[in-house]
Amino acid sequence: MAATFTVGTVPGALPLLGHVAAIGRSPLEFMAALPVHGDLVRIRLGPWPAYVVCDPLLTHEVLVNDRVYDKGGPTYDKLRQVGGNGLVTCAHRFHRRQRRLVQPAFHRDRLPGYARAMSHQVDVTTGPWRDGHVIDVVATMNAFSTGVATRTLFAADVDETVLTEIQQATTDMFDGVARRLLLPFAWLDRLPTPGNRRFERARRRLERHTRQLITDYRKAGVDHGDLMSMLLAARDDESGGLTDAEIHDQVLTFFSAGSETVSPALAWAWHLLGQHPEVRAELHAEVDSVLGGRVAEFADVPHLKVTARIITETLRLYPPVWLLTRRTAVDTDLAGQRLPAGTVVVFSPYVLHHHPALHPDPERFDPDRWRNGAGCPAAERAFTPFGAGARKCIGDEYARTEAALALASMAARWRLEPLPQARVRAAPRLALAPRSLRMRLHRR
Ligand code: HEM
């Protein structure tokens, strides 16, 4: 029997602003409350209507039909300002060729090499840690994953100041996009405000550095085993390879996709472990037996089962990519609702992950709910931190490896304690990160 779906409208839209003010005030609460209005719900983003899918089957339908539900809508219109025509942001008509060319860089064979850079970066990050000191966990995890992104992209001997400038410029651009996300009118992006000027400066700096790196790599002609070497070597019969402009967009894509997603996941994991000492004790027992105080390596990952479950449960409660949009390329029907070409459709892993019908007691942090794995049939559609279909995250294994190596290696030597009375809140901007998270280090 075909499933029947309900379609509803969210009340409270303001003239001109629609629901933008309510979303800006408390985005997570707004999103989590949507399923009571239906499986497909109509909201207004500024003056424009948009439909949010709140049911896993409908979400799946949207994600696998990427020809109909193409990349577009508010998040992608803004993200293109960073990722250009790279793999995350490109439209369907450019996608298959790019994915084919980029895929080998994420083949399982490449992971051990990337994992070496990740393990090394754990030492770089924890080197300055001192017993009893308080660290800014969000900034520290961000520096860690940006370091990993830098080293896995560019293993060549690149000037440190250039790499630091690239990291800073990527962060400035990402912040700029996050600020612009809820602005309903594109012309506001072009006003000469300090934020817009900083964004433009960062864009020009990044452009200059990546062009120079591409030229240097091409001239040297050496395979460094890094992402950049793979992008330069990528070939197919139809088009040859990626052009310099395409490589430039992929570099920016990997930089932002690689660093702005894993770091909030790690920060949330430390926060959750601080709130749940019984789970943290389980993690410590596992890393003591598998690692005995050393930094984890790629070969350890299959043995870090508690670590993996903690990461999965963290991605459920706080999916870093919490809200994304599509735009219908043609007239279509969804849940029996006619959607004309150009309609904005929103999907949110956060909504599905907090849906009480899909995850019993959804607000409870319970890594054991994943004892049977994250791939069991019921979980498959209700758990979508990496998306689904042809546009599913290409870096999911890379991200899980990075998160596991970091969490296990850091927990092997350190315990992170929450500060008394600290209130940790989510800052749902482009990625869902804690607004601020400071914790005290204890050497184990
Ligand atoms: C916890 C970490 C991560 C999360 C939660 C995450 C999440 C996602 C999601 C939800 C999508 C689908 C977007 C959509 O359908 O609109 C995606 C796509 C993508 N991600 Fe990730 N990601 C993570 C880490 C990474 C890393 C480390 C990289 C690269 C180094 C990466 C590269 C990409 C790329 C290139 C795409 C586009 C794939 C395509 O369209 O073919 N991601 N990611």
Q: Which atom of ligand 1 is nearest to the CA of 400?
A: 1
379 or 326: which leads in pLDDT:
326
Would you state the pLDDT for residue 365? Answer: 97
174 touches ligand 1 (CB under 6 Å)? no
From 139, 353, 175, 153, select the one nearest 263 (Cα to Cα).
139
Q: Is the pLDDT of residue 188 over 90?
A: no
176 touches ligand 1 (CB under 6 Å)? no
Distance 396 CA to ligand 1 centre (A): 7
Would you state the pLDDT for residue 181? Answer: 66
Q: Which of 69, 71, 88, 263 to mutate to test the pocket of ligand 1 (most atoms within 8 A of CB)?
A: 88
How far is residue 154 CA from its own chain's centroid? Answer: 21
What span, in angstroms and rounded, lies between the C-alpha atoms of 256 and 197?
20
What span, in angstroms and rounded, lies between the C-alpha atoms of 127 and 101?
37
Q: Taking a C-beta distance cutoff of 8 angstroms, is the pair 12, 22 a contact?
A: yes
Q: Which atom of ligand 1 is nearest to the CA of 75?
A: 16
258 touches ligand 1 (CB under 6 Å)? yes
Supply the CATH classification number for the domain 1-84+325-353.
3.30.43.20
Q: Is the pLDDT of residue 183 over 70?
A: no
Q: Which atom of ligand 1 is nearest to the CA of 71?
A: 16
**Mean confidence (pLDDT) of the chain:** 90
The gap between the terminal CA atoms of the chain, to the nearest Å, is 57
What span, in angstroms and rounded, lies between the C-alpha atoms of 268 and 317?
9
Please give the average per-residue pLDDT across 408-421, as a whole number. Answer: 96
What span, in angstroms and rounded, lies between the C-alpha atoms of 165 and 218?
21
Would you state the pLDDT for residue 377? Answer: 54
Q: Is the pLDDT of residue 368 over 90?
A: yes
Given strand 134-136, what is the order of strands in its sheet? 134-136, 438-443, 414-418
22 or 314: which leads in pLDDT:
314
Domain locations in the chain as residue ranges: 1-84+325-353
Q: Which tokens is 330 given?
A: 């043609």
Would you state the pLDDT for residue 383? Answer: 93
DSSP letters spanning 152-195: HH--S---HHHHHHHHHHHHHHHHHHHHHTT-S-GGGGGS--HH
Distance (Å) of CA 99 to CA 104, 386, 390: 9, 16, 9
Q: 51-65, 197-211, 332-346, 407-421 — which is least confidently predicted?
A: 197-211
Closest Cα to atom 32, ligand 1: which residue?
Answer: 395
408 touches ligand 1 (CB under 6 Å)? no
Q: Is the pLDDT of residue 379 over 90?
A: no
210 or 296: which leads in pLDDT:
296
Q: Is the pLDDT of residue 374 over 80?
A: no
Phi and psi at residue 104, to the nearest 5°:
-60, -25
395 touches ligand 1 (CB under 6 Å)? yes
pLDDT in tens, 78-97: 888 777 889 999 999 999 99
Would you state the pLDDT for residue 156? Answer: 77
Would you state the pLDDT for residue 422? Answer: 84
Distance 136 CA to ligand 1 centre (A): 25
263 touches ligand 1 (CB under 6 Å)? no
Please give the average per-residue pLDDT across 315-325, as a whole number. Answer: 94
Q: Is 425 exposed, middle or buried (0-12, 13-18, 19+ CB in 10 A)?
A: exposed
From 1, 6, 66, select the one nearest 335 (Cα to Cα).
6
Band (pLDDT 50/70/90 cuts) for residue 124 is very high
Q: Is the pLDDT of residue 439 over 90?
A: yes
Would you state the pLDDT for residue 375? Answer: 55
Q: Which of 76, 350, 393 to mutate to test the pocket of ligand 1 (most atoms within 8 A of CB)?
A: 393
Would you state the pLDDT for residue 170? Answer: 80
Distance 118 CA to ligand 1 centre (A): 18
